């Protein structure tokens, strides 16, 4: 969830009063940070992941599955075990927006050696096993699912929404489902609502089944639901987005130039991973006609006023803003990427000029001047005064609340961490095997892009169109996406396969090192004056290749593995991950979203009316629990039914938890 400053939260009126103060000092902090770190180089290509886990409570007698509001309790328990030396090895736990979710990340980043790819799943498995070992009741579990907001009364303990007095004013979401262990989360919820002048309005198209009434109109209270649309599932607060879970991957670059290069090159791949990882087809107990959460969370965090959205003329606000602060990026950052910046970029001219005067180049200055058109939406009294030379709180306040498909991350203040990029669109997967597969796949792509100097760039407008397509139902097998005919920079033919060998560089990435010798050049000597270099491909063709159209991303990775030092065990592990990605792309294996749809459609209680009942939701969560624990195989969902590695729960933790449970 970004920066978690501690202190006394300010009201929205106070936060708005100090907005210019935060922007001014945030930019000064970035300029100072930039100049301290602009020349740093030879940083290792470290990477890490973030996985969010949902606590679930089963009621077998009444056949219900609800989110369990005990994240704070278990986080405190995890911290207590850590103090006693009984914590989970090499894992860091963090709080999240929802009071039923915690986040787990590796305690140390994974390294550049190929053997580290094996460590990802092992670390994820330790996280899950450790949390599972702490659960004190047989009817509780933890799942790495994107969304479990299946039905009314979705929390345990059951808490009613209070639409006239709660922080959110939601018709459906109780304040108790918001994490109360840190004031940021309720403050953010309140300030988004107050800044825009009304509740957020999220309208997701309903999936129309044979018995779904037409038009489909929910029976909602008139007061508080005026933004609800016919044939749409209506949601009305931040929690419907921030209460969902995702998988994020952060990659450290060799230097500033390489970080900007990776930021750009990974951007066109965001919608491809969206479609591949799709896992959220149900909202508020109804089947939706989308498979991915992106438009939902984008709308949930949209704090724009009517003026900023262009619904009424500008009078008191400064800009008309085309997107929510949670959305796709608006500009590339590298020189080669700038040729593909084809959509209007709204930015603060004064901030841009200050950045230019402060020695920041045009592209990076416009990027941050664009991010800083936003107001801070959570501010603490104790953080109003800061040391611009040595602190970055004001910079991070706005930087970390621009939640985009990619995030460009400068080195933290007073840290050994380097320039990084964060890949953010991937849905959370059910098993450690899947989450590790998607993590390794993204990181392997960065190695291939750098080693073969590939060019993935397409116009930003086409990336945005691809993102719209990627969220559609069954997009992975039904949609086509804009992609380059050739990603090779030294090959004129549409098929780059003949150029793979030619493009191998002498970078130490090839030898499993840290790429400290990599020299990046422009990935395109030709301006994209037309779009003849583009084609529309299926996910299968992009991932697995097509003889007449494109080599395929997996063939590039396989070729890369042929040319690095990689042990047999690691290659076997990575190959199994690629097998999952390949079969999801081809449709031989179902996405999580398609698996959910099939489960609902085939459930005896489903009436083909788009309604997911408590009983269906209960059985689905039970099935997910079995799959995540490796108790059942799902050959149409996972290769060879693979779901779980060997458990590594510390014996001391098991013993301690056993004693507490007995007590």
Instruction: For residue range 254-309, list pLDDT tens digits in order.
Output: 999 999 999 999 999 999 999 999 999 999 999 999 999 999 999 999 999 999 99
Backbone conformation region of residue 85, classed left if phi is above 0, alpha if psi is from -120 to 50, else beta: left
Cα angle 81-84-85, degrees, rounded to a multiple of 5: 90
Q: Which of 223-227, 234-238, 495-499, 597-601 has the lowest mean pLDDT?
A: 495-499
Over residues 17-27, the pLDDT tens digits come to 999 999 999 99
The answer, yes or no, to whether residue 661 has pLDDT greater than 50, is no
Q: Which of 83-92, 273-282, 319-328, 644-653 has the lowest mean pLDDT?
A: 644-653
Query: For residue 260, what is the domain's CATH number?
Result: 3.30.590.50
> Strand, helix or coil at 150?
coil
The pLDDT score that the predictor gives to residue 531 is: 76
Mean pLDDT of 98-106: 97
Q: For the chain, what is the radius of gyration of the CA atoms?
A: 24
The pLDDT score that the predictor gives to residue 517 is: 31
The answer, yes or no, to whether residue 213 has pLDDT greater than 80, is yes
pLDDT above 90 as % of the chain: 85
The pLDDT score that the predictor gives to residue 489 is: 75
Can you give the residue range of the structural domain that contains 314? 12-448
Closest by alpha carbon to 378, among 169, 183, 178? 183
Closest by alpha carbon to 32, among 358, 255, 416? 358
Mean pLDDT of 145-153: 79
* Run of H or E residues at 260: helix 256-266
CA distances from 460 to 91, 373, 482 (A): 36, 20, 11
> Strand, helix or coil at 93?
strand
Q: Is residue 533 part of a domain?
A: no
The answer, yes or no, to whether residue 516 has pLDDT greater than 70, is no
**pLDDT confidence bin for 646, thresholds 50/70/90:** very low
Q: Considering the entire predicted model, what is its pTM?
A: 0.92
Q: Is residue 552 part of a domain?
A: no
The pLDDT score that the predictor gives to residue 113 is: 87
**pLDDT confidence bin for 147, thresholds 50/70/90:** confident
**pLDDT confidence bin for 658, thresholds 50/70/90:** very low
Mean pLDDT of 590-617: 97
**pLDDT confidence bin for 497, thresholds 50/70/90:** very low
**pLDDT confidence bin for 657, thresholds 50/70/90:** very low
Q: How far apart are CA 373 and CA 26, in angstroms?
A: 12
Q: Is residue 243 part of a domain?
A: yes
How is residue 246 annotated by DSSP?
B
The answer, yes or no, to whether residue 15 has pLDDT greater than 60, is yes
Retrieve residue 650's tokens.
């510390």
Over residues 231-261, the pLDDT tens digits come to 999 999 999 999 999 999 999 999 999 999 9
Closest by alpha carbon to 643, among 621, 627, 620? 627
Closest by alpha carbon to 430, among 155, 643, 597? 643
Mean pLDDT of 61-72: 97
The pLDDT score that the predictor gives to residue 503 is: 36
Count how many domains the chain has. 1
The pLDDT score that the predictor gives to residue 528 is: 55
The pLDDT score that the predictor gives to residue 268 is: 98
The answer, yes or no, to whether residue 495 has pLDDT greater than 70, is no
The backbone torsions φ and ψ at residue 637, rounded to the nearest 5 degrees and listed phi first, read -125, -35
Q: Is residue 569 part of a domain?
A: no
Q: Is residue 287 part of a domain?
A: yes
Q: Is residue 494 part of a domain?
A: no
Mean pLDDT of 384-404: 96
Over residues 328-362, the pLDDT tens digits come to 999 999 999 999 999 999 999 999 999 999 999 99
The answer, yes or no, to whether residue 654 has pLDDT greater than 80, is no
Q: Is residue 370 part of a domain?
A: yes
The answer, yes or no, to whether residue 4 has pLDDT greater than 60, is no
3-state secondary structure labels for all residues of 388-437: CCCCCHHHHHHHCCCEECEEEECCCCCCCCCCEEEECCCECCCCHHHHHH
* Run of H or E residues at 599: helix 592-601
How is residue 115 annotated by DSSP?
G
> Strand, helix or coil at 98?
strand
Q: How far apart are CA 50 and CA 94, in angstroms?
A: 10
The answer, yes or no, to whether residue 499 has pLDDT greater than 60, is no
Cis before 157 (ω within 30): yes
The pLDDT score that the predictor gives to residue 222 is: 85
The mean pLDDT value of the chain amounts to: 90
* Run of H or E residues at 129: helix 117-134
Q: Is residue 97 part of a domain?
A: yes
Cis before 10 (ω within 30): no
């Amino acid at each position: 969830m970004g920066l978690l400053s501690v202190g006394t939260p300010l009201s929205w009126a106070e936060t708005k009063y100090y907005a210019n103060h935060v922007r001014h000092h945030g930019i000064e902090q970035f300029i100072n940070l930039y100049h301290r770190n602009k020349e740093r180089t030879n940083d290792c290509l470290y990477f890490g992941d973030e996985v969010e886990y949902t606590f679930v409570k089963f009621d077998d007698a009444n056949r219900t599955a609800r989110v369990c509001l005990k994240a704070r309790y278990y986080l405190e328990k995890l911290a207590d075990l850590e103090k006693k030396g009984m914590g989970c090895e090499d894992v860091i736990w963090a709080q999240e927006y929802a009071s039923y979710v915690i986040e787990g990340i590796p305690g140390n980043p994974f390294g550049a050696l190929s053997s580290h790819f094996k460590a990802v799943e092992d670390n994820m498995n330790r996280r899950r096993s450790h949390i599972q070992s702490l659960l004190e009741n047989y009817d509780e579990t933890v799942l790495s699912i994107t969304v479990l907001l299946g039905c009314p009364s979705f929390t345990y303990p059951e808490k009613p929404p209070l639409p006239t007095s709660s922080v959110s004013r939601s018709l459906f979401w109780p304040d108790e489902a918001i994490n109360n262990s840190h004031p940021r989360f309720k403050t953010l919820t309140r300030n988004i609502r107050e800044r825009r002048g009304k509740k957020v309005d999220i309208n997701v198209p309903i999936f129309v089944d044979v018995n779904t009434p037409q038009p489909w109109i929910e029976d909602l209270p008139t007061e508080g639901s005026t933004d609800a649309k016919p044939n749409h599932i209506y949601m009305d607060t931040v929690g419907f987005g921030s209460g969902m879970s995702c998988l994020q991957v952060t990659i450290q670059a060799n230097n500033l130039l390489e970080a900007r290069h990776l930021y750009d090159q990974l951007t066109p791949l965001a919608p491809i991973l969206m479609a591949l990882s799709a896992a959220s087809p149900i909202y508020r107990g109804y089947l939706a006609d989308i498979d991915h959460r992106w438009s939902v969370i984008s709308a949930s965090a949209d704090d724009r006023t009517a003026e900023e959205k262009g619904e009424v003329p500008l009078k008191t606000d400064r800009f008309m803003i085309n997107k929510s602060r949670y959305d796709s990026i608006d500009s590339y950052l590298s020189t080669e990427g700038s040729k593909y910046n084809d959509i209007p970029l709204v930015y603060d001219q004064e901030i841009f000029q200050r950045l230019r005067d402060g020695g920041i180049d045009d592209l990076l200055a416009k990027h941050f001047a664009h991010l800083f058109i936003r107001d801070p939406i959570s501010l603490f009294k104790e953080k109003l005064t800061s040391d611009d030379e040595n602190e970055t709180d004001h910079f991070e306040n706005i930087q970390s609340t621009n939640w985009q498909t990619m995030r460009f991350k400068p080195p933290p203040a007073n840290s050994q961490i380097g320039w990084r990029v964060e890949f953010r669109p991937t849905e959370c997967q059910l098993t450690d095997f899947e989450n590790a597969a998607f993590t390794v796949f993204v990181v392997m792509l960065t190695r291939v892009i750098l080693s073969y100097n590939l060019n993935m760039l397409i116009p930003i407008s086409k990336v945005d169109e691809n993102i719209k397509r990627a969220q559609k139902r069954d997009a992975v097998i039904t949609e086509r996406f804009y992609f380059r005919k050739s990603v090779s920079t030294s090959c004129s033919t549409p098929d780059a396969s003949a150029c793979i060998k030619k493009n191998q560089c002498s970078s130490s990435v090839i030898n499993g090192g840290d790429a400290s010798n990599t020299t990046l050049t422009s990935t395109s000597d030709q301006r994209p004056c037309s779009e003849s270099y583009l084609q529309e491909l299926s996910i299968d063709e992009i991932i697995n290749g097509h003889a007449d159209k494109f080599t395929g991303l997996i063939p590039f990775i396989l070729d890369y593995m042929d040319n690095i030092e990689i042990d047999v065990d690691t290659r076997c592990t990575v190959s199994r991950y690629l097998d999952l990605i390949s079969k999801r792309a081809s449709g031989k294996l179902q996405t999580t979203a398609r698996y959910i749809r099939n489960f609902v459609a085939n459930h005896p209680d489903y009436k083909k009316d788009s309604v997911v009942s408590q009983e269906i939701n209960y059985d689905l969560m039970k099935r997910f629990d079995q799959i995540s624990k490796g108790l059942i195989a799902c050959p149409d969902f996972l290769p060879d039914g693979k779901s779980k590695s060997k458990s590594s729960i510390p014996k001391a933790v098991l013993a301690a938890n056993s004693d507490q449970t007995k007590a």
